[in-house]
A = this chain, B = another copy of it.
């Protein structure tokens, strides 16, 4: 049924074109130094035989794989509940395939998986790694470093991003948060609450910091910790209404949380945005537009982040191995801008 026909080898192409293997190799790899008529003959032979180089054989000698690992370390279902991940993947995929690199996906759930991932990375199957959703004290960066692989992180790692040549791409969470809160201020709101995300992730911390930047002397009762889920949004909103029934605005750490808050506000008969204005974060498609009312939120360029991560990694890979003194040419942290998207909720 699926009987594999023996694929033609370099040897076969060489024989057909009446040249040596070396010459075919030169032509296939686009190196110069083969005179046109000969090259043409080789190209014809390649076509006729349908020759495709054997990547394993090539890797064996070049020590390149033209493949990078994408590691998503997410025990919770959160990442999977939002399309974030898929969007970023798409960005990465585009960039990688544009440069003829493959994407090897490594999903990890628990600590056991780390050993496996470590072994895989050390096994030299990929040239580099793209890493997401690091949590505090994650062993992953250590594993990667030990495997001697270049890596780019999605989101600022909690350990010195920027130091040690740790390269990362992040959204301007802090700036975006500031914009959101300033927008609420501009609407004349003064009793602005914040529901945070899971504070073991830098994105949540940064958003909180942004909030505080603008509301330096805020009543601590106006800040409640959440964990990026809708359920936490509901819980936090109830808490807030109990503490400060007079609040007139809420900045939620993400759209899901905002959706939860919205529901509780409706339950309590608060009109949005008239009584309470609500701003989310992420501009997560199926949620932000479907809420009642549609959510004003901070958009980040997810796909762009993915692309950029891939691009930075590829650049690193293309750098001649000798170029140690260049370290530092690669920017260690890149922060992408965010934009406020105005809808009905604020």
Could you tell me the distance in whole angstroms from the C-beta of A341 to the nearest C-beta in chain B?
A: 16
Q: Are A292 and B292 in contact (CB under 8 A)?
A: yes
Interface residues of A in 276-301 (CB under 8 A from B): 284-287, 289-292
**In the bound complex, how far is the Cα of B81 from the Cα of A48, in angstroms?**
43
Q: Which residue of B lies closest to A327 (CB)?
A: B1
Q: Which residue of B lies closest to A302 (CB)?
A: B80
Encode contact with B along A97-139: 1 for CB under 8 Å, 0 otherwise: 1000011111101000100100110111100000000000000
**In the bound complex, how far is the Cα of B8 from the Cα of A123, in angstroms?**
11
Could you tell me the distance in whole angstroms from the C-beta of A98 to the nearest C-beta in chain B?
A: 10
Interface residues of A in 40-91 (CB under 8 A from B): 50, 52-57, 59-60, 63, 65, 67, 70, 77, 79-83, 85-87, 89-90
Most B Cβ at <10 Å: residue of A93, A259, A284 = A93
Q: Which residue of B lies closest to A100 (CB)?
A: B116
**In the bound complex, how far is the Cα of B150 from the Cα of A53, in angstroms?**
21
**In the bound complex, how far is the Cα of B148 from the Cα of A94, in angstroms?**
26
Could you tell me the distance in whole angstroms from the C-beta of A117 to the nearest C-beta in chain B?
A: 9
Encode contact with B along A310-330: 1 for CB under 8 Å, 0 otherwise: 000000000001001001000
Q: Which residues of B contact A123 (CB under 8 A)?
A: 52-55
Q: Are A148 and B54 in contact (CB under 8 A)?
A: no
Q: Are A290 and B287 in contact (CB under 8 A)?
A: yes
**In the bound complex, how far is the Cα of B112 from the Cα of A229, in angstroms?**
39
Q: Are A1 and B324 in contact (CB under 8 A)?
A: yes
Q: Are A230 and B65 in contact (CB under 8 A)?
A: no
Q: Which residues of B contact A105 (CB under 8 A)?
A: 70, 89, 93, 103-105
Q: Are A82 and B80 in contact (CB under 8 A)?
A: no
Interface positions of A (Cβ within 8 A of B): 1-5, 7, 50, 52-57, 59-60, 63, 65, 67, 70, 77, 79-83, 85-87, 89-90, 93-94, 97, 102-107, 109, 113, 116, 119-120, 122-125, 148-150, 165, 230, 256, 259, 263, 266, 284-287, 289-292, 321, 324, 327
